[in-house]
Amino acid sequence: MNDIAIELINITYIYPDGTMALKDVNLKVMNGEKVVILGPNGSGKSTLFMVIAGLLKPVKGEVKIFNSGKPSFPLVGLAFQDPDDQLFCPTLIEDVAFGALNLGLTREEAVKKAEEALKAVGIEEFKNKPPHRLSIGEKKKASIATVLAMEPKILALDEPTSNLDPKSKVELINLINNLYDNNKFTLLIATHDLEFALKTVEKAYVLSKGRIVESGSINEVLSNIDLMKKIGLIA
């Protein structure tokens, strides 16, 4: 459990239009930790997660996943902010099995993994339902199931509480905590929802305008009221 799960060394990412999304980002997440990347909208959180997941290649710096510079997939399972970006098959079970099939599992094995993942997030009864017929809360759970089916070592959730009503938010908090307790993966969350962060993680990094500006325990970071106000996380 003392291995380094994620290490970013001087990561810089610039979009093709010249926008500097990340600048000299350094962070370290230990295996089994629960860590949040806090930041307002537009701070670079989603870009950072795509770099960690290997979907974007930084223009400078090094990404190490379990001390290796090899491709992150399938060690990192990323659930996007918008679940519709991950749900595109005719039925939910096909969506959740899709990643496992791409890992080389037989259809029977992939469907079994998908059914287990849907059960883990509590929506197995919807397995034959078209994803577009699900509520936003159910879609959020489904997007998590799509990555759970691939059994990642690192579960990365990008703004998982966005657009959720209070009841669905509480359900998701409980689900994430239960999944962590039962699976003991490394948990990485990106959010601007401070209440959610406080209830799910132990350690925090603060991202502002593409740079890490603070890090520490979640309680220490959130107690820095001046910083939270300065970067727009609280009014």
- Tell me the CB-side half-sphere exposure of residue 62, using CA atoms within 13 A: 9
Distance CA 90, CA 155 (A): 25
pLDDT at 87: 95
- Going by C-alpha positions, the residue among 32, 3, 24 that lies closest to residue 187 is 32
**What pLDDT tens digit does each residue of the chain (235 aa) get?**
469 999 999 999 999 999 999 999 999 999 999 999 999 999 999 999 999 999 999 999 999 999 888 777 789 999 999 999 999 999 999 999 999 999 999 999 999 999 999 999 999 999 999 999 999 999 999 999 999 999 999 999 999 999 999 999 999 999 999 999 998 899 999 999 999 999 999 999 999 999 999 999 999 999 999 999 999 999 8
pLDDT of residue 2: 61
The per-residue b/e assignment along 80-112, b for 16 or more CB within 10 angstroms, e otherwise, is bbbbeebbeeeebbbbbbbbbbeeebeeeebbe
In this structure, the strands spanning 20-30 and 211-217 are unpaired
Token pair, residue 17, equals 């239009």
